[in-house]
Structures are given as structure tokens and as C-alpha cells.
Amino acid sequence: MRIDVMTDIETLGTNSDSTIIQISAIAFNINTGEYISEFNKIADIALNKTNNITGGTLIWWLNTNKELLTELLNEGEGSSEELLQSFNEWLLELSLDGEIHLWGNGILFDNKMIQHQLESIGLRYPIHYKNDRDVRTIVDLASAKLGITEKELKDRYIDDSLVHHNAFDDVKYQINLVVGCYNELIKLNKR
């Protein structure tokens, strides 16, 4: 059985070894958007042995949503390594029911960073190489099919109740977007 999982991370840098402060994911039905299982954890970076932070990312956070950054930095439980271990365990448990397709909003960021950091702590990335999925690619294809810009397509799925850059809310938005695009591409959506 196929299991689609949308993931999003919040970090303190853009390098593969940058400190991850939040991992959120939802296993979902790609046809309906129904949620199957949820994961949402925040790390307490004060417990990390080291933190890899880039100045540009820190400035970006302070200019984008310093209140959310403050909230994330004060609500963590466990180190970033423990966060990764917990996420890995959640994925492995899900994989007992089927083959996981892991979606990221840029597989070379979210998925690749998760893979790199799991491997750096001695854990195997539990996603088969052919099952990494990219939100940006499906949005590109669906917008081309519909003859609209990617921004116009993304705007259709905006939910003002969601907090931008809170990984759990970003996951919910990305699921709505991917399900909508998927249904457009396979002609299930009869708008």
C-alpha cells in the first residue's frame, strides 16, 4: 500500500547540517487529503551539543516572524538529535503498513536535510530513493496544465487560519495544494 507523507522542517540555516528546530509531517490520502497520522515536534536546541546556524537564516527569521521563532525556541522538548530519532521511529512505524512516499517543498531541502542528518547520527533514511516527492514539481505541472501561474494556483489553496513558517501549518497547506494539483492532473477534480 502507498503511504504519502508531507513533511516540512524549520531550521536555523540552509546547509545540510544546519540545526533543525521543528519537524512536522502528516501521512495523508493523496486522493482525498484525509489525514492518517500526524507528527509535530520542536527541538530544545539548548540540549544540542552543537548548533549550526547561518547568519542569513537568523536575520531572515527575525525579519519574517520573530514571534514564531521565539515560540519555537522556547517550546522544544529534547535535542535536535532526539527529534530526528523520534521522526525516524514514526516513519518506520508507518512503513509497516506500506511504502512511504515522502513529500517536501523542495526535496533538495527538507528531504535531503532529513536524510543527511539521520545518516549523520547513524540511522538509515527510511525512504526508498524513488519515493522522494517534490511539491514544487507537481505545482509546476498542474499550473502548466491549467494555464495559470504557479502563484495563481497556490493562491487557490491559501488558508488564512494557518501560520506561515510554522512547519505543521505549512504541511497542512502543502497537502491541500498537492491533493488539488494531483486531482487536476489525473482529472478527478471536476471544477
- pLDDT tens for 125-151 read 999 999 999 999 999 999 999 999 999
* Whether the Cβ atoms of residue 24 and residue 7 lie closer than 8 Å to each other: yes
E-assigned strand segments in 55-109 = 99-104
Q: Give the pLDDT confidence score for residue 19 in this predicted structure.
A: 97
Run of H or E including 2: strand 2-11
**CATH value at residue 117:** 3.30.420.10
Question: Can you give the pTM of this predicted structure?
Answer: 0.94
Q: Give the pLDDT confidence score for residue 189 in this predicted structure.
A: 46
Spatial distance between the Cα atoms of 7 and 167, rounded to a whole number of angstroms: 8
Range of the domain at 36: 2-133
Closest Cα partner for 45 from 84, 6, 7, 16? 84
Q: Is residue 145 part of a domain?
A: no
Closest Cα partner for 179 from 153, 161, 160? 153
Q: Above 90 in pLDDT, residue 187?
A: no
Mean pLDDT (the chain, rounded): 95
Residue 102: how many other CB atoms lie within 10 Å: 23
Domain count, the chain: 1
Spatial distance between the Cα atoms of 120 and 114, rounded to a whole number of angstroms: 10
Q: Is residue 124 part of a domain?
A: yes
Q: Is residue 8 part of a domain?
A: yes
Q: Above 50 in pLDDT, residue 188?
A: no
* Whether the Cβ atoms of residue 97 and residue 123 lie closer than 8 Å to each other: no
Spatial distance between the Cα atoms of 21 and 41, rounded to a whole number of angstroms: 8
Q: Is residue 126 part of a domain?
A: yes
Residue 75: how many other CB atoms lie within 10 Å: 13
